[in-house]
Structure 1
Amino acid sequence: MDLYSVLEPNQQLTTTKSLKLVELNPEVLQAIENKTELRLKSATNKDYPVLVTASKTFKIRQKNHSNCVLLLSEHNGAASSYARFSNELVLAPIEPTINLHGISVLTDLSGLTSKNPVSLESIFENSPMSKEEFARLCPELNLVELEGNAYVLHEELVRDCLSSILRAIIEELVESGDEMNIMTRLQSLDKQWVIDVVDKRQEESYPSEIIQTVLAKYTREADEKLAFLNEKVVRLYGVLLLKNSTQNMKEEDFALNLKLTMPFNYHPNIKLEYLGGNFITENGFIRYFAESDLSENPVERISELFKLKKEWKLEEIEPFVVRINTKKIKTDKFLIKYAKVRRVGKQTVVCAKT
C-alpha cells in the first residue's frame, strides 16, 4: 500500500506538508464535528494502519483511480484547486482484535508475578482498536490487570470464580426467602447488591478485578441492574466438561453431568446448541472438538470436517463454517460450492461431493 508516499507540497497551501485525500464516512465525520479525538494506530510497524474514534476502528486502504479529483479550499481570499490526486484513502470498518502474544495465562492466584509487567494500557496502545472496543473485548478474552501486570485468566479459573459468585448470590436469595424464584431473580439484580454479597460470601478471596471481569462477561448490565447470561454460562461449563472428559459420553449422560457441575439451585436450560463449534455428536455420543483447530482455508476446512463425519446436519455444521462464510450468506447456499446439500425429510443434511 502506497500510504506513506509524499505528495509534492502546493505552495498556495503549505510549504512543509503533503496531502492525502480521505473519503470520510458518517461516523468519522461526526467525530470530527464533535471535536472527538481521532488516532492513527497499527499493531506493528509492518501492519496496516487504522483510524480509531472513541468507539470504532476503521482500516485505511488506498483506492487508485483515473478520475480527476478536484479539491477546493479558501486561502487568503483566493480559491485554490488541486487535481493531482490519482488515488484516495477509504475507511472500512473492521472487527478489532487484541494481540495476546506474550501475555501470561493465569491458572491460579499463586501464579502472580512481578517480572516483566505489561499493563492493560500498554496493550491498548499497541492494539489497533478504539478505547470503547478495548474495554468491551477485555472481559470476552478474560484479560485482566492484577498488581500492574496483565494476564489472560484460564477458563477453569473463570469458571471457579463464576461458581463462587453464583453460590454467594443464590445463598443470599435463599436466606431472604426467594428460593422458588432464583432463576427469575438472577435476571434482575442490583449491581451494587451483587458486589456486596459476593464480597461478604465468596468462598475464595478473588481480587475485585477478576470478579468485575467475570461479571462483565457473564452478565448484561442495564440501569445498574445485572442479568446473568445463562447461555454463556452453560457454554463455559459445558465446554470445560467436554475438554476434561477422557472418553466420549452419551448425550444424556453429558447433560446430567453438566447439571451436576453447576452451583446448587442454579438450573438454566441446557441445549447442545449453546456449545456450538466445540463438539461433535455421532451415534448418540458427544465429544469435544474446537472450531479453532480447523484450517482457515475454506476448501481445506470443509475437507477436514468430512474426515471427522461423513454426513452433517445443517445446524451441526453451521458453527464450524461461520468463520469462513465471510459474506454472511445463508449457510446452505454457502455450502453448495463445497459440498452436497440435500433435504432428508424435515432436515437438511450436508455431505461431501463425490
Structure 2
Amino acid sequence: MHNQNDTYNKEIVLTILHKFGFQNPDSPTSFKLNNLEISKWFGIQTLLSSASATSIQPKQLLINWKSSFPPFYNIPIDLKDLRGYYCRPLKDQIQYLDPSVLTDKDISARAKDLFKVVKEWDYDEFLPFIQHLIPSGKKTDSVILKFARKKRVGKNKFMVTPR
C-alpha cells in the first residue's frame, strides 16, 4: 500500500475495509471481504442509476447489477438484498425508493408515505421500510394491522394495503 498510489491513503483504505469487510480477531491487520455488503452497495448504486427516474424490469436490473461488478469479482446477487430500497409501481417493474426521504416520525406516517407511492405492497418488501420503527417486544403484524390490512394472495404470500 505504501508508495503505490498516493490517491489512496491509509485512512481511506481502512474505512473501506471496515465498511465492507470483517476484521480478523486474531490479526487486526487482516480483513475478509463481506460479499453481501459489497453486493448490496453495488445493487443500491445500480438501482439508483437504473431505476431512479423510471421503473425497470427486475430481470434487467439484475443484469445491470451483475455487470456493475469488476469482471474478476463473481458473487451471487439476489433482489431480496435490496429490500428497503425499491418499490413496485407496477407488478413487473421496480423503482428506486430512497428510504431517507420518507417520514421517520412514526409507523403511521411512514405507512401513509409508502401507500402514496404504491397502493399495494408485497409484505416482505414493505417490512424493511418500517421494521426499525416497530418497538421491541411488539409483534410486527399487530403493529401493521393498526394502520394497514394484510391479505393473503397465495400459500405463503401476503400483501399490505391501506385501511
- TM-score, normalization by structure 2: 0.84
**Does 2:152 match 1:347?**
no
Q: Deviations over 1:10-33 (max 9, x none)?
A: xxxxxxxxxxxxxxxxxxxxxxxx
User: 3-state DSSP class of the match of 2:8?
Assistant: coil
Question: What code does the residue aligned with 1:298 have?
Answer: I
Cα 1:328–1:273 change in 2 (3 A) is farther
Hey, what's the Cα distance between the residues in 1 that align with 2:36 and 2:142?
28
Identity rate, percent: 27
Map 1:76-225; keep pairs closer than 5 Å: 200=4, 205-222=7-24, 223-224=26-27, 225=30
Question: Are 1:275 and 2:82 an aligned pair?
Answer: yes
The whole-number CA distance in structure 1 between the counterparts of 2:114 and 2:80 is 18
- In 1, Cα distance between the equivalents of 2:135 and 2:102? 16
> Which is helix-richer, 1 or 2?
2
Note if contact 1:232-1:274 (Cα within 8 Å) is conserved in structure 2: no
Residue 254 (str. 1) matches residue 56 (str. 2): no
Structure 1 gap segments, 5+ residues each: 1-194
Distance 1:287 1:328 in 2: 32
CA distance change for structure 1 residues 265 and 330 in 2, over 3 Å: closer, same or farther? farther
Matching of residue 338 in structure 1 with residue 147 in structure 2: yes
1:273 counterpart letter in structure 2: K
| 1:228 lines up with 2:37 in the alignment | no
Alignment pair present for 1:288 and 2:96: yes
- Runs of 4+ displaced beyond 3 Å: none
Q: Tell me which of the two structures has the higher relative contact order, counting C-alpha pairs closer than 8 angstroms and 6 or more residues apart.
A: 2
- Post-superposition CA distance 1:29-66 (Å, at most 9, x none): xxxxxxxxxxxxxxxxxxxxxxxxxxxxxxxxxxxxxx
Query: Using the alignment, how far apart are the partners of 1:280 and 1:331 within structure 2?
Result: 20
Q: CA deviation at 1:328?
A: 5.2
TM-score (norm 1): 0.41
For 2:77, the aligned partner's letter is: I
CA RMSD of aligned residues (A): 2.0
| Structure showing the higher strand proportion among its residues | 1
